[in-house]
Amino acid sequence: MTFIVSAKQIVIMFLLMLLGFLTGRLGMIHKETAKDLTNFLLYIISPCLIVNAYLVGFSMKRLIEFFQAIVAVTLVYSVSIIVSHLIINKKFFKDQETRSVLIYGSAYSNAGFMGIPLVSAILGESAVFFSVPYLVVCNFFMWTHGVALFSIEHKRSLRLRFLDALKNPNVIAAFIGFVIFVSGIKLPELVLTPIKSLVSVNTPLSMVVVGTNLGAISFSSKKNLKTVVFGTFARNILIPLICLFILLSVPISGQAAWAILIMASCPVPAVVVLFSLLNNFDAEVPTSYLCLSTLCTIFTLPLIVLVAQSLGYGG
């Protein structure tokens, strides 16, 4: 993968996002429509994309790479969470709500809505196979450590939070896909054709929906600008660079290495706004954070790719 290829694909995807932003602002796509499309992507198209990624034919090499990716992603997330807690502390950020939002946004990326479309567009559909371990590990941490940051359903046990993570449609699709992969089951054409048809619209529809949701964000003041800029620096540059150096030290290469790095370099996840609203947090910081981080990705992700290439990453 080259810097030029990644930059070109990201620009194309941001043009699709701009289309979504404009149609949302002009009232062509309404708030409820955007919500319905989001659910359609989450519960139908994204699981189809994951299952489709496993339809590559079993090989021991791929199986080993799959488990290597799980280990690498677990290490990446563990370090990301620790670093986020260290740099976003009470000394610099007095407000508990702000700390929770920044820690969550720094540690986790928008792997589902932006990560998979980016991997598919930049590396090709075959590379989505290596995005699945990232999604599975991401969902585990998000629904255990992540919800604890916001004290969501704080009375729920770790076991129940783990079960919540397992109920995620992407995790269920990953399990189904893995069974298909290791068993060598051949899906009938009647099932395969609709799956591939849905997969083909994932990238453009995802970007349009992200743009539409960004278009619905309004800003009342700039009082939290420094806070949001710091959070964006942590999410878009610092954490991806730390992840890069971690990945350079583990036995992983090729598409698997690049897929993980792209997923780790994605912007703040949209769910940070949802979690904030569910707990009656001030929505200004998370919405501003989401917007700035997403917009900056057009510059920061190619930069991370360029640095990785200069270090011989993924070879």
Q: Specify the pLDDT at position 301.
A: 93
Q: In the chain, what are the domain boundaries?
A: 3-310
Q: Specify the pLDDT at position 3.
A: 64
Kindly calculate the radius of gyration of the chain based on its CA atoms and give it in whole angstroms. 19
At the topology level, CATH places domain 3-310 in Na+/H+ antiporter like fold (1.20.1530)
Q: Specify the pLDDT at position 162.
A: 67
Is 283 in a helix, a strand, or coil? Answer: coil
Q: What is the mean pLDDT of each run of 10 residues along the chain (315 residues)?
A: 72 90 90 85 87 87 92 95 94 87 94 85 86 87 83 58 72 90 91 92 86 73 81 97 94 91 93 78 84 91 93 83
Q: Token pair 């929770």 is at which residue?
A: 100
pTM value? 0.85
Q: Which residues of 131-141 are buried (b: 16+ CB within 10 A; e: fewer)?
A: bbbbbbbbbbb
Which residues have a Cβ under 8 Å from the Cβ of 40 and sit 6 or more positions away? none
Structure tokens at 19: 């289309």
**Of 121, 86, 176, 172, nearest in space to 301 by CA:** 121
The residue ranges of DSSP E strands in 71-183, in sequence order, are none
Q: Specify the pLDDT at position 315.
A: 67
